[in-house]
Amino acid sequence: MAALEAFTPRVEIVEPGECLIATRGPARYFGGERALAGLVQDRVEAVLVEASEDPGPPAVAVGVADGRFPARQAARQAARQAARRAGRAPGEGVLVVPRGRSAPFLAPLPVDTLGDPETADLLGRLGIRTLGQLAALPAGSVLDRFGPLGARLHGLARGVDPTTLSAPAVPPDLAAQVELDPPLERVETAVFAAAALAERFLARLARAGSVVAVVRMETTTADGGGLARCWRFDDPPSAGALAERVRWQLDGWLSSAPRSADPRITRLRLVPEELGTGGRQLGFWGGDGGRAERAARVLVRVQAVLGADAVTVGRAGAYGRGPAEQFRFVPWPGDEPSTKAAGAQRGRPRSASTRRPAEGAPPSTRRPAEGAPPWPGRAPPPAPAMVPAEPLPAVLVDADGVPVAVDGRGAPSNVPARLTVGGGPAAAVTAWAGPWPVDERWWDPVAHRRRARWQVVTGAGRAHLLAVEGGRWWLEATY
């Protein structure tokens, strides 16, 4: 980011590895948009080569287009061309979409690029699979069928990005700051100040009925200097998400400060650089009474004391076959909002998106790849409601009290009639499905496992997922 500020003072961070800059002034000064894109690419690559231990050159891609959304799509397309290799041809990894040609450029892209999976799935079932097909629909019909969200996505498909319009002036009283005495010199200490400041900042916005789109973070250091950075949000940030961004930024500044400077921070300030296009409307009955926000504040403080990994949430995904393998714990809040940025050129919105690395999004936002492993033998849907930390011992017998078994071909020995879990009372089995045999890592004599899963419903109306392995039954989950 510091290297890019040599071209323009306005650099908006989209997410780690991607940012956008306005092209109005820089393009005129550096000889045009393509020349500017090449200079940006060379400068960022040089900085990354100097900071990286990887001997290979980093993959940096730059896209320029009319607005934030088409610029980001141009950068992604350029990124696919800038694969990591021993050398890069001049101009490779740079894509400049001519003015007024955003709609034709976007037309062949799939509707998934709009960033709304639910709407994209519905459009696909209606036979609308590309942005060009969506753009060809009448705007009024899209608004009637999909509402304001559909109208916005329809505009993006036509190359019209409403976020590129000039934002109204932001009242100065919405900014929030904190004086730090003694000055901050450790990131761990800064988290407390950042969390409290973020809460106060968002509370002021809420009282004004506003939501923030761009936040500028400003700091004053002990040697009289100052640093500033802009972050853009598509969705209104929570206090926890905003405090986490502040922590990232302070960590970068404090760790990279030159030895001759005094990087200790004496003042921290959050300024709403740009407000969102819509206000904040609370529920008629008061919503949840602010419980979610209060919980977020508590979790931020816990992370400040014990570290980011101390508070985790489950994230579902295709990670394995058993119910306990269908999720992973990731640091709270688990996701970072997707964000955008832009500028203007000759009255028309123009922006340049710089993306690195070319391989894809950062781990916090990367989705499971299409065509993920099917995991043969995986427990069928629906997902269970409760999964014990460790499987509970169980006994499954037939009407005569003979334990039910599964042979080598996956066939049951008899019909299950009663289930006992953890030494408790036996419950009658009224319905069952399965078994589904699983033969894992058959090539590894140490890690090889053979088991079978059953779904059973007891007379009390409770449904369970059972597994039998080595002649022993276990309760893995309850529906």
Q: Is the pTM of this model over 0.85?
A: no
Max mean pLDDT range (36-50, 291-305, 329-343)? 36-50
Q: How would you write 420-453 as a 3-class SS string?
A: EECCCCCEEEEEEEEEEEEEECCCCCCCCEEEEE
Q: What is the mean pLDDT of residues 438-457?
A: 85
Q: Do domains 4-161+343-355 and 172-310 have the same CATH topology?
A: no
Q: How far apart are CA 97 and CA 85, in angstroms?
A: 25
Q: Determine the pLDDT at residue 10.
A: 77
Question: pLDDT band at 60, cuts 50/70/90?
Answer: confident
Token output for 168: 């109204």
pLDDT of 288 > 60? The answer is no
Q: How far apart are CA 25 and CA 21, in angstroms?
A: 10
172-310: which CATH number, 3.60.15.10, 3.40.50.2020, 3.30.1490.100, 3.30.750.24? Answer: 3.30.1490.100
Q: What is the mean pLDDT of residues 272-298?
A: 63
Superfamily of domain 4-161+343-355: 5' to 3' exonuclease, C-terminal subdomain (1.10.150.20)
Q: State the Rg of the chain over Cα.
A: 28
Q: What is the mean pLDDT of residues 393-397?
A: 91
* Domain coordinates in residue numbering, the chain: 4-161+343-355, 172-310, 392-478
For all residues of the chain together, what is the average pLDDT? 77
Q: Closest Cα partner for 353 from 161, 88, 143, 185?
A: 161
Q: pLDDT: is 30 or 341 the higher one?
A: 30
Q: Determine the pLDDT at residue 133.
A: 92
Quick one: DSSP state of residue 378? P
Give all strands of the β-sheet with 11-15 in edge-to-edge order.
94-96, 61-65, 351-355, 18-22, 11-15, 226-232, 212-221, 265-275, 176-184
Q: Determine the pLDDT at residue 343.
A: 32
Q: Closest Cα partner for 391 from 465, 293, 313, 290?
A: 465
Question: pLDDT band at 293, cuts 50/70/90?
Answer: low
Least confident range of 168-177, 455-464, 465-474:
168-177
Q: Determine the pLDDT at residue 344.
A: 30
Q: Determine the pLDDT at residue 105.
A: 92
Q: What is the pLDDT of residues 8-37, one digit of tens each?
A: 877 888 777 888 888 877 888 888 888 888
Q: What is the mean pLDDT of residues 38-58?
A: 78
Q: How far apart are CA 132 and CA 150, in angstroms?
A: 15
Q: Helix, strand, coil % (nearest 5) of the chain? A: 30, 25, 40
Cβ–Cβ under 8 Å, residues 223 and 336: no
Least confident range of 14-23, 70-79, 156-165, 237-246:
156-165
Q: Determine the pLDDT at residue 136.
A: 92
Q: pLDDT: is 407 or 90 the higher one?
A: 407
Cβ–Cβ under 8 Å, residues 248 and 194: no
* Paired residues of 328 in beta bridges: 315
CB within 8 A of 42, min separation 6: which ones? none
Question: pLDDT band at 277, cuts 50/70/90?
Answer: low
pLDDT of 188 > 50? The answer is yes
Q: What is the pLDDT of residues 213-269, one digit of tens each?
A: 788 888 888 777 777 888 887 777 877 778 878 877 877 777 776 666 677 788 888
The DSSP result for 213-257, as a single string, is: EEEEEEEEETTS-EEEEEEE-SSPPPHHHHHHHHHHHHHHHHHH-
CB within 8 A of 217, min separation 6: which ones? 228, 229, 230, 231, 245, 246, 249, 268, 269, 270, 271
In the chain, the amino acid numbered 440 is E
pLDDT of 164 > 70? The answer is no
Q: What is the pLDDT of residues 346-390, one digit of tens each?
A: 333 466 777 654 443 333 333 333 445 667 777 777 778 888 888
Q: What is the mean pLDDT of residues 262-284?
A: 70
Least confident range of 10-14, 83-87, 414-418, 428-432:
83-87
Question: pLDDT band at 284, cuts 50/70/90?
Answer: low
CB within 8 A of 282, min separation 6: which ones? none
Q: Closest Cα partner for 475 from 389, 346, 411?
A: 389
CB within 8 A of 83, min separation 6: which ones? 59, 358
* Share above pLDDT 70 across residues of the chain, in percent, rounded to a whole number: 79
Q: pLDDT: is 55 or 423 the higher one?
A: 423
